[in-house]
Structure 1
Amino acid sequence: MEQKVTVVAIEGEHVLVQGRRASACGKCVGKSSCSTMGSWVERVAELRVRNSLQADVGDEIVLDVPDGLLLSLAFQLYGLPMLAFVVTGVVVRSIAVAAGWPQADALAAVAGFVAVLACYALIHRRVSSGRTRLDVRMVRVERPQAYSQSSN
């Protein structure tokens, strides 16, 4: 999937880009009048990308986002926490029933919720430490017209 974004800052070998988040219905004809999933709200995302094409602040660049990356991120953000909730809940409920503890279902629900929070905390720590690698790459730079005319 390709996404057009704008360079807002240069940070060494990387650039900070900003762009409107793509959605599944982004190309729909009725997009302007649709209220499905809050489409009337502009969603802006920021991302740090290696500056492989020597883009400058204000340049529009096209990024290539591999489809596999989107699936992987979706699984990490939605699938793993759900799996942690279910597995933890089943294990805690089984232990609580076997031990004869009261409110086994409530304990399982609380333990599942704690597992989800722990899962998100681990994801956040991994992302903030820089260990997560996004295979997003620059495809091309589209400089603003005023810039390209003044440089000729």
Structure 2
Amino acid sequence: MEQAVIVVDVANGEALVRGQRATACGSCAGKSSCSTLGSWVERFAEMRVANPLGAKVGDEVTIEVPDGEFLRAALRLYGAPMLGFFAAGFFVRAMAFSLEAASPELWAALGALAGMAGVFMWLRLAEKERMSGARIVHIRSHAVNIEVRAL
């Protein structure tokens, strides 16, 4: 997957890039309104990528994320919370039945939501800013440096 982004910081052979979050349907005419709030909310993402071409701050570049890395990220963001949801729900339901608690289904639902929230928090704390394998593959345009002098 390739994406056009802007370099916002450079350090140690890596670049911090910012770009608009891509939707799954890049050619869709309605992609700007696919999110819940549509075009009312700017959807930008930042990430650290390898900078083998020596891009500088302000350059517009194309980054490439290997398909395998993209699939792993999707599994982390969708699969892990779903697993936490079901595992916690089943565990709490079993505990509620064994303790003969009132309305074990309510406890199961609350446990499932807590499990999913816990996995989301764990993913957020464990997330790495740099996506391994992502790199700059093309510098689309260089930043324009304008020198301003006082009169």
Do they fold alike, i.e. is TM over 0.5?
Answer: yes
RMSD of aligned alpha carbons:
2.4
Give per-residue Cα distances to partners, 1:29-62, cap 9 Å, x unaligned. Answer: x348x74435534422111112211111121111
Amino acid across the alignment from 1:96: A
Given that 2:87 and 2:115 are in contact with CA atoms closer than 8 Å, whether structure 1 keeps it comes out as no
How much does 1:96 deviate? 1.6
Q: Give the structure with the larger strand fraction.
A: 2
Structure 1 segments unaligned to the other structure (5+ residues):
148-152
Q: TM-score scaled by structure 1?
A: 0.79
Given that 1:31 and 1:39 are in contact with CA atoms closer than 8 Å, whether structure 2 keeps it comes out as no
Given that 2:49 and 2:131 are in contact with CA atoms closer than 8 Å, whether structure 1 keeps it comes out as no
Name the CA distance, whole Å, in 1 between partners of 2:78 and 2:43: 19
Given that 2:48 and 2:131 are in contact with CA atoms closer than 8 Å, whether structure 1 keeps it comes out as no
Structure 2 segments unaligned to the other structure (5+ residues):
146-151
Which residue does 2:78 correspond to in 1?
78
Number of aligned positions between the proteins: 143
Give per-residue Cα distances to partners, 1:53-73, cap 9 Å, x unaligned. Answer: 111112111111122222211
Amino acid across the alignment from 2:58: G
Name the CA distance, whole Å, in 1 between partners of 2:138 and 2:97: 60
Equivalent residue runs for 1:1-152 within 5 Å: 1-28=1-28, 30-31=29-30, 35-37=33-35, 38-41=37-40, 42-127=42-127, 133-144=131-142
Q: Give the structure with the larger helix fraction.
A: 1
